[in-house]
Amino acid sequence: MNPIGVFASVDAGLGVSWDVIEKVGVPTIQLHAPHRQSRGPEVVERLRQQLKQIGVTLTAVFGGFEGESYADIPTVGRTIGLVPPETRQERLQEMFEISDFAQQMGCDTVALHIGVVPHDRNDPQRAGIVDVTRELCQHCGRHGQFLHLETGQESAEDLIAFIDDVGVDNLRINFDPANMILYGMGDPLEALKKLAPLVRSVHCKDGTWSDQPGVTWGQEVPLGQGDVNIKAYLETLRDIGYTGPLTIEREIPQDPERQLREIGDAVRLLETYLRELHG
Ligand code: MG
CA 220 to centroid of ligand 1, rounded, Å: 11
CA 150 to centroid of ligand 1, rounded, Å: 6
Q: What is the CATH number of the domain that holds 81?
A: 3.20.20.150
CA 251 to centroid of ligand 1, rounded, Å: 9
**Number of domains forming the structure of the chain:** 1
CA 126 to centroid of ligand 1, rounded, Å: 23
CA 112 to centroid of ligand 1, rounded, Å: 9
| Dist. CA 249–CA 233, nearest whole Å | 15
Neighbours of 258 (CB within 10 A): 12
CA 46 to centroid of ligand 1, rounded, Å: 26
pLDDT of 13: 75
pLDDT of 256: 85
pLDDT of 279: 77
CA 47 to centroid of ligand 1, rounded, Å: 23
CA 203 to centroid of ligand 1, rounded, Å: 5
Give average pLDDT by consecutive 10-residue segment, the chain, 279 residues: 95 84 95 94 95 97 95 92 97 98 98 95 95 98 98 93 98 97 95 98 97 92 97 98 97 85 96 93
Q: What is the DSSP string of the chain?
A: -PPEEEEEESSSSSSEEGGGHHHHT-SEEEEEPPPGGG-SHHHHHHHHHHHHHHT-EEEEEE---TT---SSHHHHHHHSTT-SGGGHHHHHHHHHHHHHHHHHTT--EEEE------S-TT-TTHHHHHHHHHHHHHHHHHTT-EEEEEPSSS-HHHHHHHHHHH--SSEEEEE-HHHHHHTT---HHHHHHHHGGGEEEEEE-EEE--SSTTTS--EEE-TTSSSS-HHHHHHHHHHTT--S-EEE----TTSHHHHHHHHHHHHHHHHHHHHHHH-
Q: Comparing C-alpha atoms, which of 229, 231, 226 is closest to residue 275?
A: 231
Distances (CA, A) of 168 to 91, 96, 142, 219, 226: 20, 17, 13, 34, 35
The dihedral sign for the CA sequence 259, 4, 226, 176: positive
pLDDT of 231: 98
CA 176 to centroid of ligand 1, rounded, Å: 5
Quote the pTM value.
0.96
CA 143 to centroid of ligand 1, rounded, Å: 24
Domain range for 66 is 4-278
